[in-house]
Amino acid sequence: MASSISLSFSSALLPSPLFQPHINTTAATPFTTNTSRILLLCAFTAASTTTSTRRPTSSSSTKKRHWKEGEFPGAGISETSVVGTSKKPPIKNIKKKLDRKNKAKAWVNTVTEALSDSIDKKLWLQSLEVFEMLREQPFYQPKEGTYMKLLVLLGKSRQPHRARQLFDQMIEEGLEPTSELYTALLAAYCRENLIDEGFSILNQMKTLPSCQPDVFTYSTLIKPCVDATQFELVESLYEDMAGRLIIPNTVTQNIMLNGYGKAGKFEQMEKVLSGMLESTACKPDVWTMNTILSVFGNKGQIDMMERWYEKFRNFGIEPETRTFNILIGAYGKKRMYDKMSSVMEYMRKAQFPWTTSTFNNVIEAFADAGDAKHMEYTFDQMRAEGMKADTKTFCCLINGYANAGVFHKVISTVQLAANFEIPENTSFYNSVISACAKADDLMEMERVFKRMKDKHCTPDSRTYSIMEEAFRKEGMNDKIYDLELEKQEVLANGSEIDEAT
């Protein structure tokens, strides 16, 4: 019988009082197992520690830009200006002017804080609305930093065409483009795998002396080419880099390793890795280690993953929190709960912090197995440790309850996500739509789909696949036909989101 799911955003999910598993602290390495241990988590009693997360940083040094012959047809034009003299008018009524200035300053702070807050929360539509309001104020001055933040946000929110509009608007306001701004725009298109547009931006950069592409630009464009397995385009980009004396860095090579690994081209992957080991410019780092472990972990090749872990340790590369999260995720997908617990114990003993990703991987493992009991326990412990849940957390919870057939808790989880102000992205809506499909509630599924589009959240291939399969089970071919037409329109507009992201 169909279970009706009504999306209300007012109530909260109460934590379930599940049992505390037995704790064993004898693990010495990430791969040590103890079969007498309960399959869930292992060291929740240890105090949580905090460390700074390692992030790649872009070089702050200014590099000389080079362009090939004929790419930049013009030469620098010097301009002269005549400086005139003017007499300042006398200042009258200073108090009123100061009052107006203070009020204006307060208004500036209010609007700019609202803009910063919406950007931090990754609310791209709200950010654009606040920014448009800011532009209408008399005190507004265009700033490169503001445009950069918005371009990055739109790129991450999969809105390349809006990013292009914003970029053109920036030019109209008189701001000079930079290599960094162009690369941010290019990244927005690359996230959508719009490779042709990415090459168009690259070629445009080559014609501008102050916006010459650098290694970060090329690495950004190489990634979608690799993801699309268009390795011939990758070769052309490497040749272009060589012609400009731009040396691939470790990030570039890590992208190649990941691409070859996902494509199953292990021979090429090993060749790139060997070159990195012999190179002085792009030595393998912990990101290389994480990339290789992810490749084998995602393919379920646990033995290879463990073997490469030991190899990288022998190379002198130290693991980080993300490394262990990758191991936990891989073990969880294979339901190797003992090893998953051992890695978590090892992290505690070695003082590596458990992060949101750590908990997400454990929650996902139980969600995939439809084990709502242990999934809830992990989520409750996550909150008890003060760890902030994110969109993936709630996607996993929704999937887990749907897999377990506990559809009324899907509703509670959606309500809780609203209370936590969790961003409702494509993955989030896909999870809810999938839950509706599993509950055979096609009417609610269509309502969620409509809400998704009303919220300017673009459906992706998985969205349509879930709905078409649900309609196919009921023999609703007319609905499938309408969805196919809509999907083709989305593809024609270049708005589809890569479901693998």
pLDDT in tens, 164-215: 999 999 999 999 999 999 999 999 999 999 999 999 999 999 999 999 999 9
pLDDT at 119 over 60: yes
CA nearest neighbour of 394 among 374, 419, 404: 419
User: At 20, is the pLDDT very low, low, confident or very high (cuts 50, 70, 90)?
Assistant: very low
Alpha-carbon distance of 166 to 160, in angstroms, equals: 10
The reported pLDDT for the residue numbered 400 is 98
List the Cα angle 136/163/287 in 5-degree steps: 130
- By percentage, how much of the chain surpasses pLDDT 90? 66
Alpha-carbon distance of 354 to 385, in angstroms, equals: 9
Contacts of 466 (CB under 8 A, 6+ apart): 430, 433, 434, 437
pLDDT at 96 over 90: no
Q: What are phi and psi of 105, to 5 degrees?
A: -65, -40
- By percentage, how much of the chain surpasses pLDDT 70? 76
Average pLDDT, the chain: 82
311-345 pLDDT, tens per residue?
999 989 999 999 999 999 999 999 999 999 999 99
The reported pLDDT for the residue numbered 56 is 44
Alpha-carbon distance of 378 to 39, in angstroms, equals: 12
**Environment class of 61 (CB within 10 Å of its CB; exposed 0-12, middle 13-18, buried 19+):** exposed
The reported pLDDT for the residue numbered 282 is 87
pLDDT at 420 over 80: yes
The reported pLDDT for the residue numbered 29 is 57
Decide which of 65 and 244 is more confident: 244
The reported pLDDT for the residue numbered 57 is 43
Decide which of 97 and 467 is more confident: 467
Dihedral Cα 157, 163, 169, 172, nearest 10 deg: 150
458-488 pLDDT, tens per residue?
899 999 999 999 999 999 999 999 999 999 8
43-68 pLDDT, tens per residue?
443 333 333 434 444 444 444 444 45
Contacts of 232 (CB under 8 A, 6+ apart): none
Contacts of 415 (CB under 8 A, 6+ apart): 8, 9, 10, 11, 12, 13
Q: How far apart are the first and last CA of the chain?
A: 34
Highest mean pLDDT among 11-15, 22-26, 474-478: 474-478
- Mean pLDDT over 358-379 rounds to 97
Helices 179-191, 215-227: axis angle to 10 degrees equals 10
User: At 432, is the pLDDT very low, low, confident or very high (cuts 50, 70, 90)?
Assistant: very high
CA nearest neighbour of 256 among 237, 240, 242, 243: 237
User: At 103, is the pLDDT very low, low, confident or very high (cuts 50, 70, 90)?
Assistant: low
pLDDT at 36 over 60: no
390-403 pLDDT, tens per residue?
999 999 999 999 99
The reported pLDDT for the residue numbered 490 is 81
User: At 111, is the pLDDT very low, low, confident or very high (cuts 50, 70, 90)?
Assistant: confident
Q: Buried (b) or exposed (e) across 449-477, using 16+ Cβ within 10 A?
A: beebeeeebbbbebbbebbbebbeeeeee
- Please name the residue ranges forming H helices in 420-476: 426-438, 442-454, 461-473
Alpha-carbon distance of 8 to 371, in angstroms, equals: 25
Choice among 351-355, 462-466, 470-474, 496-500 with the minimum mean pLDDT: 496-500
The reported pLDDT for the residue numbered 270 is 87
CB 380 within 8 A of CB 15: yes
**Environment class of 74 (CB within 10 Å of its CB; exposed 0-12, middle 13-18, buried 19+):** exposed
User: At 494, is the pLDDT very low, low, confident or very high (cuts 50, 70, 90)?
Assistant: low
The reported pLDDT for the residue numbered 280 is 81
